[in-house]
Amino acid sequence: MLVSGRSKTAPLLFEMHIIGLDVSLRSTGVGVIERRAGRLTCVEFGLVRNAPAVPHSICLVTLQRDLAALLQRAQPEVAALEGGFFFKNAKTAMILGEARGVVIATCATAGVPVFEYAPRLVKQSLTGFGGAEKTQVAKMVVTILGLRETPPPDATDALALAICHAQHQTGIAALQPEPI
């Protein structure tokens, strides 16, 4: 994990820590942001990596273990995941489903509610256009969070999910998704 530090002070009413998770078996992106008085800042981002030679079951255990440690360290109030996937390849869909299941169960065990956002909504929330390219989304993540450099793509996607959630939590209540 790449760590950027975090305040040790107790959360205030207007403060919220949000974890975004771009789930995959081999390279899950993670990003924790803080919303305080309307400002968003990056707390931490990184990747949970599993090498191609690592057995599938060990990848799932690594994902669970590393995410549980991150949840304990970062203490997010909510998690944001990408939802609404369609795959032609059933094997790929099943593998992603297993990884998502591990992530959702790990968050639930830690008492962190999970919200899902459609990919187009995430892009629209950050760029104003649901069909935006990944490079446009990455530029907005860097700009919104005041980062010095662009994180790895999976971590950027995770941060984008967290930003999307932060924006929807301050929006109209009717637009807020229900936790899964």
Sheet holding 15-22, edge to edge: 2-3, 39-49, 27-36, 15-22, 78-82, 114-117
- Which of 34, 44, 116, 154 is the catalytic position? 154
Q: Verify whether residue 66 is a known catalytic residue.
A: no
- Which of 44, 66, 82, 157 is the catalytic position? 82
DSSP three-state, residue 3: strand
Q: Verify whether residue 22 is a known catalytic residue.
A: yes
Q: Do the Cβ atoms of 145 and 42 come closer than 8 Å?
A: yes
- Which of 22, 44, 66, 116 is the catalytic position? 22
Q: Dihedrals φ, ψ of 22, to 5°?
A: -100, 95
Task: Report d(CA 64, CA 128) in Å as an integer.
Answer: 34
Q: Which residues are catalytic?
A: 22, 82, 154
